[in-house]
Structure 1
């Protein structure tokens, strides 16, 4: 059974959702029969390459909030991350274009190291003081995941490398009706939207494994997501972070 996960490295709920999904998968009796494929989704596709700014400043400007209010929004999301045992820095993360990161993730997929690179980049972006938007840092992270440094530099130097793969993933997300991430599609029968609790993922895996035909794609969209405006909902509130 294949599980496809649309996500963006800039999305905190994708970071949290990946951890929760993996816990849910660990509780699934047929976990060894599940293939996980990560697919590309840019929250801010119009963001200019090379323009990097503190995420708190971006949030304050986008939502017309003070910097203190933006920090409070970040802290809300951080509390959810920490409850999953994840590190989360509040206030000093960067925000920029993720297109090149997605291209390198497709290289990693071709080399069988996609999940490894995604894990390393998430950790660097949310838990460590390393900017994933710096090309040199991205190369270092890719090497940590097991990729060849020269091959990664070659992809970054060629704007067309894996660009079509990223765009194809994004078109497919639109065709499936995904306007926010994380978005999980199980065997093309069941969709789960957002950073759901681990037990929701286990139940969805069990349902998909049983082969129940659900047409059109049935979607549980009650979880927290980041949408295409780079807004990230916090469960139980009307606030965004």
Structure 2
């Protein structure tokens, strides 16, 4: 069984969704038969490379909030994450272009370390408030998660996996994704949003039943 997950590195709901998926998988007796692939979906693909913006300011501008309302929204997300056992520190987050991080996730897939790198990037951004845009910081995060330093440097120095990122995003549009996280099971079942673990587990069981039948 294949589960494909479209997400972005700087999407808090995607981190929650990954956590729920992991919980759902841990509850299944066929866990070892499920292969998870993370696919690219950039929330702001037009963001200029090398330039970041305070996330509070971005939220305020995008949704017509006051700065205080944006801060309150971030605090609610911190509380939501805490209820899930995650530590989010949303106060000083920066938003920017995540293309390089997505290219590293494609390298991680080829290296058999995609889950580890996806977790490392989410934790680095939301918990540790590390930079997930600059090559130096990305390189450190990726190598700490088990990728070979030389390969990481090569990817970040060039345009390797650019086509793969764009292909993922085209496929997401073809499948009807309008936001993330977006889960697709065996290209037959689709689930949008950070659904609770029991919901995801039920989808996987139903998909499994179709396969067995």
- Answer yes or no: same fold by TM over 0.5: yes
Deviation at 1:153, TM superposition (A): 1.3
Question: Which residue of the partner structure matches residue 207 of structure 1?
Answer: 206
1:147-158 paired onto structure 2 within 5 Å: 147-158=147-158
Q: What's 1:89 paired with?
A: 89
TM-score (norm 1): 0.85
Which contiguous aligned blocks of 4+ residues in structure 1 show a shift greater than 6 angstroms? none
2:19 alignment partner, SS class: helix
Encode CA deviations 1:152-185: one digit per residue, 9 max, x unaligned.
1111111x21000000100000000001000000
1:230-241 correspondence to structure 2 within 5 Å: none
Instruction: Please state how far the C-alpha of 1:60 moved relative to its aligned partner.
Output: 1.5
Provide structure 1 residue ranges, at least 5 long, that are not aligned to the other structure: 213-241
State the match for 2:59 in structure 1: 59
Give the SS at the match of 2:44: coil
What are the residue-to-residue correspondences of 1:54-133 with 2, within 5 Å?
54-133=54-133
**1:4 matched to 2:16:** no
Q: 1:57 Cα deviation (Å)?
A: 1.4
Counterpart Cα distance in 1 of 2:115 and 2:164 = 17
TM-score, normalization by structure 2: 0.96
Residue in structure 2 matched with residue 236 of structure 1 by the alignment: none
Cα distance in 2 between the residues matched to 1:199 and 1:129: 30
**Normalized per residue, which structure has more helix?**
2
2:180 is aligned with 1:166 = no
SS at match of 2:133: coil
Give per-residue Cα distances to partners, 1:5-28, cap 9 Å, x unaligned: 000011110000100111011111
Structure 2 CA distance for aligned equivalents of residues 71 and 124 of structure 1: 20
- SS for the counterpart of 2:210 is coil
Deviation of 1:90 (Å): 2.2
Residues 103, 155 of structure 1: 8 Å contact kept? yes
Deviations 1:56-101 (A, max 9, x none): 1111122232211101111122222111111100211111001111
The CA distance in 2 between the partners of 1:61 and 1:8, in whole Å, is 20
RMSD of Structure 2 on Structure 1 (CA): 1.3
Q: How far did residue 129 of structure 1 move?
A: 2.5
Q: What is the match of residue 187 of structure 2?
A: 188
**Equivalences, count:** 212
Tell me the distance in 1 between the aligned counterparts of 2:182 and 2:14.
9
Q: Is contact 1:42-1:99 (8 Å) kept?
A: yes
Counterpart for residue 220 of structure 1? none
| Contact kept? 1:117, 1:145, Cα under 8 Å | yes
